């Protein structure tokens, strides 16, 4: 009898042990959700998102903030120091500290500046299980591709080709390129210009290059903008309205768009293609605080103003700022990679389709090549978004 009782006790202990082990295994194997005390499913993982402050970069901050509100149990949004250049160590420590949370499964760093890669290298060293994503940062692409799981950025050079092709599709016979010496000295801008010129020549479009006063070495933007006010009408008088104008500097577009509405020439895209660059100011759009991040509504407002000015189909841009798209896309991508380990994030076709599925925008990713002769960087993806016409 004693032996039977002992056997029964041992059997019960074994069952408890097995059940406890199964419970632990469910957590260790990455179960996505667990039931909280209120009966609601709570996320069993977190995604850290790092951006500049609101005053430093509003688009990136608000994009991350919107994702934190969309996924409150998942996204932890922190900001870099206001003066990052003088508080680099603090910023790096903030990023690394996210890895202290055992539930942290992905860290996304979004900041158009260099110096942040060491933090992601440290995360890789101490928590190799954490997915790291940049969207973007501007450290050395070769090192970023080596130490970061997924790098996302705009294909700034290829835009030289896509802008020229878009202008040609719109009916432009001439493309005028406005820039200034300190901009043209930047490699990416020079490469984009060369690509734009090459594409124009291949399409049979006339290429015109105009150098403006340099706002970075003279008296600011004033002389440059005054030059544009005087020169653009001269150019359109010479070449006619079937001309597309492109400027390499954001402040140029208050003048370029304003003159386009008067003189009826084309603007396929701005240097930073977004519905919020120049269009609202020049067109006098009354955008409420509630609608400030409703880009579909803003695009409709621009389209109405373009039609009223007889400019339908002669103005364009991207439907959403890339500084809003990439942070939001990065969060959705991190979720996908955590919840679906079989997702092939290195396949650009998969990245393209995922953007269409979850963001509703058609984009084309490709692998970045640091130079024409060098190999593609497997973990560094650059994109072009399909532009829209107003």
Are 254 and 379 within one domain?
Answer: no
Are 301 and 172 within one domain?
Answer: yes
pTM over 0.85: yes
Answer whether residue 153 is part of any domain: no
Q: How many CA atoms lie within 13 A of 317 on its CB side?
A: 26
Answer whether residue 55 is part of any domain: yes
Per-residue pLDDT of the chain (390 residues; tens, 9 = 90+): 434 433 433 333 333 333 334 333 333 333 444 444 343 455 699 999 999 999 999 999 999 999 999 999 999 999 999 988 899 999 999 999 999 999 999 999 999 889 999 999 999 999 999 999 999 999 999 999 999 999 999 999 999 999 999 999 999 999 999 999 999 999 999 999 999 999 999 999 999 999 999 999 978 999 999 999 999 999 999 999 999 999 999 999 999 999 999 999 999 999 999 999 999 999 999 999 999 999 999 999 999 999 999 999 999 999 999 999 999 999 999 999 999 999 999 999 999 999 999 999 999 999 999 887 778 999 999 999 999 999
State the CATH number of the domain containing residue 256. Answer: 3.40.50.11390
What distance in Å separates the CA atoms of residue 293 and residue 54, rounded to the nearest whole number? Answer: 15
- pLDDT, position 34: 44
Which ranges in 29-157 belong to alpha helices (H)? Answer: 58-70, 88-97, 117-126, 141-147
Structure confidence by residue, pLDDT tens digits, 151-185: 999 999 999 999 999 999 999 999 999 999 999 99
Are 265 and 299 within one domain?
Answer: yes
Peptide bond into 224 cis (omega under 30): no
Are 102 and 205 within one domain?
Answer: no
- Contacts of residues 123-129 at CB distance under 8 Å and 24 or more positions apart, as own/partner, are 123/95, 123/96, 123/98, 123/99, 124/148, 126/96, 126/99, 127/99, 129/105
Answer whether residue 9 is part of any domain: no
Residue indicated by tokens 């373009």:
306
- pLDDT, position 374: 78
Quote the domain boundaries for residue 315.
159-319
Are 178 and 128 within one domain?
Answer: no
Are 166 and 228 within one domain?
Answer: yes
Torsion angle of C-alpha atoms 238, 243, 247, 252, degrees rounded to 10 = 70
What is the CA 40 to chain-centroid distance, rounded?
33
Are 78 and 142 within one domain?
Answer: yes
Which among 293, 319, 345 is the end of a domain? 319
State the CATH number of the domain containing residue 49. Answer: 3.40.50.11400
Number of domains in the chain: 2
211 in helix, strand or coil? strand
Which among 279, 299, 319 is the end of a domain? 319
- pLDDT, position 14: 38
Sign of the torsion angle spanned by Cα atoms 167, 258, 178, 137:
negative
What distance in Å separates the CA atoms of residue 275 and residue 203, rounded to the nearest whole number? Answer: 27
Token couple for 209: 């290059």
Q: Which residues contact 165 (CB under 8 A, 6 or more apart)?
A: 199, 203
Answer whether residue 13 is part of any domain: no
- pLDDT, position 241: 98
Which among 262, 284, 319 is the end of a domain? 319
Are 47 and 125 within one domain?
Answer: yes
């Amino acid at each position: 009898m004693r032996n039977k009782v002992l056997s029964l006790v041992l059997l019960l202990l074994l069952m408890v042990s097995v059940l406890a082990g199964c419970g632990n295994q469910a957590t260790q194997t990455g179960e996505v959700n667990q039931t909280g005390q209120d009966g609601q499913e709570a996320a069993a993982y977190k995604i850290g998102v790092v951006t500049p402050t609101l005053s430093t970069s509003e688009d990136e901050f608000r994009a991350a903030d919107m994702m934190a509100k969309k996924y409150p149990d998942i996204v932890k949004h922190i900001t870099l120091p206001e003066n990052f250049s003088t508080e680099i160590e603090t910023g790096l420590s903030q990023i690394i500290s996210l890895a202290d949370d055992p539930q942290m499964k992905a860290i996304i760093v979004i900041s158009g500046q260099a110096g942040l890669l060491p933090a992601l290298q440290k995360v890789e060293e101490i928590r190799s299980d954490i997915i790291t994503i940049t969207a973007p940062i501007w450290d050395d692409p070769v090192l970023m591709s080596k130490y970061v799981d997924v790098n996302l950025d705009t294909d700034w050079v290829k835009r030289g080709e896509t802008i020229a092709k878009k202008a040609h599709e719109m009916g432009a016979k001439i493309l005028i390129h406005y820039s200034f010496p300190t901009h043209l000295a930047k490699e990416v801008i020079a490469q984009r210009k060369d690509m734009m010129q090459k594409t124009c020549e291949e399409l049979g479009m006339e290429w015109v290059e105009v150098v403006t006063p340099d706002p970075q070495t003279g008296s600011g933007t004033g002389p440059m903008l005054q030059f544009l006010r005087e020169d653009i009408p001269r150019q359109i008088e010479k070449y006619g309205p079937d001309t597309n104008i492109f400027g390499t500097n954001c402040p140029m577009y208050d003048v370029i768009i304003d003159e386009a509405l008067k003189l009826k020439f084309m603007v396929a895209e701005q240097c930073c293609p977004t519905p919020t660059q120049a269009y609202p100011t020049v067109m006098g759009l009354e955008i409420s605080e509630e609608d400030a991040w409703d880009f579909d509504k803003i695009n409709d407002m621009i389209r109405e103003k373009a039609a009223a000015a007889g400019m339908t189909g002669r103005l364009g841009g991207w439907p959403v700022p890339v500084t809003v798209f990439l942070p939001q896309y990065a969060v959705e991508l991190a979720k996908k990679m955590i919840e679906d380990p079989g997702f092939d994030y290195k396949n650009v076709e998969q990245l393209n389709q995922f953007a269409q599925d979850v963001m509703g925008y058609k984009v084309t990713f490709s692998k970045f090549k640091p130079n024409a002769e060098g190999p593609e960087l497997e973990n560094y993806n650059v994109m072009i978004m399909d532009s829209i016409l107003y």
